[in-house]
Amino acid sequence: MSSFYSGKRTRNLFDPKSKEPFRLSRSKIDLFVSCPRCFYQDRRLGVGQPPGYPFSLNSAVDTLLKKEFDDYRGKKQPHPLMKANKIDAVPFQHEKLDEWRDSLRRGVTFHHKPTNFKVTGGVDDVWVRPNGELIIADYKATSKNGEVGIEADWQDGYKRQMEVYQWLFRRNGFKVSSTGYFVYCNGKTDRPDFNSKLEFEISVIPYKGNDDWVEPTLLKARKCLDSKVIPKADLGCDYCTYVEAVSLVNK
């Protein structure tokens, strides 16, 4: 990781004087919610938080789920998980689906003119009801004892993620259900043997989102980036706490 992380970048920085739309991803919106200081240092000054290690197993689960749902998408049939959870929908067919899934280069996009942000987000999947209403679906993978849920404090980011996707699709003119679904895969460790195979129990967890917070948050994020003053350190942010601790011992 250290060989790729330079500590500071000079590209894709916010310039208050620029007239060009500034690309702001769903994850950076969540960074602003979590810590305005880290957000400012990242988007305005080019000093981002150190990247984490890639979750290769999670990526593998994500890829396989997409392949499986795409198979039923081609058949225009509901996935068995939809039937089992009594969700009256099928995987949504659309020419831009691959673009919407590409979080790094494209994603679902919308130009928010009040802030001049080009808001983006890479969705896992989209389903559609018979009445044309879209359902946002998000894939998650973990391994824990007991049933999985989305009630932990650290999963608030998952909920905001869902709500930003719902907001983006609505701004693109789609009718979107307030209820989205987390397809949560839980790797089981209580099996007697491994046999070169990890077994998962899959839960489909409904979540009723509310995207009312997105618009005012974008306005606050723009105001933050326009300022010449770096926001104060957030005591609830692990990175701010670490940097503060390092600065104290290095005095």
Please check whether residue 5 lies inside any domain of the structure.
no
141-199 pLDDT, tens digit each: 888 887 888 888 888 999 999 999 999 999 999 999 999 999 998 888 877 777 777 88
In the numeric block, the tokens 């994500």 are attached to 62
CATH number, position 44 = 3.90.320
Give the number of domains in the chain. Answer: 1
Strand order in the sheet with 22-25: 22-25, 117-121, 108-112
The tally of CA atoms less than 13 A away on the side-chain side of residue 226 is 11
Please check whether residue 47 lies inside any domain of the structure.
yes
Please check whether residue 114 lies inside any domain of the structure.
yes
22-74 pLDDT, tens digit each: 999 999 999 999 999 999 999 999 998 887 766 777 888 888 999 999 999 99
Please check whether residue 96 lies inside any domain of the structure.
yes
Question: Quick one: tokens of 204?
Answer: 């489909």
Residue 157 phi/psi, 5-degree rounding, is: -65, -35
Which residue from 136, 147, 77 is spatially nearest to 108, judged by alpha carbons?
A: 136
Which residue from 65, 66, 29 is spatially nearest to 163, judged by alpha carbons?
A: 29
What is the residue range of 211's domain? 22-243
Please check whether residue 14 lies inside any domain of the structure.
no
Please check whether residue 217 lies inside any domain of the structure.
yes
The structure's pTM equals 0.91
